Amino acid sequence: MESKSLTQNQFFSYFMTTSDMYLNLSKSSDVVPTRCELLYESVSSSIKMLQYYFHIDKPRDETVRILSDILGDWVQEAYDIALKLHYDGYISENLLEEDLAVYEEKIRSFVRDAEEVITG
């Protein structure tokens, strides 16, 4: 069986679709820790997409610093929010429904901005 290689557009489209999927799934859950983790995964997928786009082969924290140097502080800010959602919201279960509204909008904006970098 012959495998077909993905085009660059297909490759980045996968990450965009994955980020959007996690973002949309987070809206469909009533469980705050689950929503927090889905939002975290959305950011994570967008960061991976940007990491591949800019050919960065570094650990995640260093990748985020490099991406922030290239694109601006909005990358680091989104990553910091994602970590807060993961650790405080998902693992420790210390975030409330009311906390998520602001974070969700910032994550949505980050995903949209990351996609704009790729699609121009």
Residue 80's domain is classified under what CATH number? 1.20.120.330
Per residue in 70-119, pLDDT (tens digit) is: 999 999 999 999 999 999 999 999 999 998 989 999 999 999 999 999 99
Side chain identity at 20, as an amino acid letter? Answer: D
Q: How many domains does the chain have?
A: 1
Per residue in 40-81, pLDDT (tens digit) is: 999 999 999 999 999 999 999 999 999 999 999 999 999 999
Structural domain of residue 63, as residue ranges? 2-119
Q: What are phi and psi of 61, to 5 degrees?
A: -60, -45
